[in-house]
Amino acid sequence: MSSMDEKRATYSLKAPGSSGSSMRLPGRGSFPGVDDHLVIPEVTRDEIIGGRRVVALPALPPHATRHSRINYLLEALVAPGYIAASDLLTRHDVDSDFATDGCIYKEGVDPETGTRYLEELAFEVVSAQNQRDVTEKAVRMARRGVRRIFGVFVKGGKICEWSSESGGWLPLDAEARIEEPCLVAPLTVAALLDAAVADNAVAEALAIKGNPALRMREAEAEARGEARGNAEALLKVLDARGVPVSTAQRQEILSCQDLERLDRWLLRSTQASSADEILSEP
């Protein structure tokens, strides 16, 4: 969220030093380094968009909750070799120094500039107060080289992608998928709109990444399933042979998670004449 405050002191549009070389794109002029800031990072809430001073204000729901969901999704879906970031301040052109709500950029140092890489994907939550600003941001980001820019429009509950060709925001269908090399799995538009879908997307992404905690839970679930299957097989053998099993004994068999013990019981069940004979352990 942001607001204009023209009465406050203006900023010099020349960076106070240079942390990297300028970047030049064909037909687009030169750009300052992404970290040659006009404002003081982490000290002021100020941003500069096209020479205008903008104050980035704290947000209320649903703006704040949508912002949080973007970060939740990007952190989970970001592919190895890339970094997900929130509120990353970038010098997009000579008279613009601002951040988006969420973004992904390549890890490491860009050999062309000697600084970090420019964002590849950028996401911005759009409220009624900042539609003008976010559109100007999109124009300047696209001109700088940010490949894809998405707007999460709070009013109307829609997701749009910026189109340089049309000069506007194009609505995306809820079933649309954002597929990019910097993501381990496609990001569905529905995940940006629905918390339950977002949870599923995060779980899928963590599974693809081989998250150790998920792997452990999967192994435990497989072991429980195998134990349950062996216990039910044992009870079927006893039932087929007409060996009586008490309620307590049935519960003991079904609750057993020790696969080796269940194997011993299953072997005994083919010969034993009582459940006690099967379940007794030396």
- pLDDT (0 to 100) of residue 20: 42
Kindly give the parts of the chain with pLDDT less than 50: 4-9, 14-28
CA distance 154 to 193: 10
- pLDDT (0 to 100) of residue 57: 80
User: Between the CA of residue 152 and those of 54, 67, 211, 237, what are the distances in Å?
Assistant: 20, 9, 29, 59
Going along the chain from its start, the domains and CATH numbers come out as: 2-208 (3.90.1570.10), 212-279 (no CATH)
CA distance 53 to 226: 63
- pLDDT (0 to 100) of residue 110: 93
Give 212-225 as a DSSP string.
HHHHHHHHHHHHHH
- pLDDT (0 to 100) of residue 16: 43
- pLDDT (0 to 100) of residue 270: 87
Residues 160, 180 contacting (CB under 8 angstroms): no
Q: In this structure, what are the phi and psi dihedrals at residue 12, rounded to the nearest 5 degrees?
A: -70, 135
CA distance 70 to 201: 12
- pLDDT (0 to 100) of residue 2: 55
Around 135, how many Cα atoms within 13 Å sit in the side-chain half-sphere? 11
Residues 118, 34 contacting (CB under 8 angstroms): yes
- pLDDT (0 to 100) of residue 18: 41
CA distance 14 to 4: 21
At residue 163's C-alpha, the angle toward residues 160 and 168, to 5°, is 75
Around 258, how many Cα atoms within 13 Å sit in the side-chain half-sphere? 8
Task: Say if strands 119-126 and 148-153 run parallel, antiparallel, or are unpaired.
Answer: parallel
Residues 245, 251 contacting (CB under 8 angstroms): no
- pLDDT (0 to 100) of residue 223: 83
**97 has which bridge partners?**
48, 91
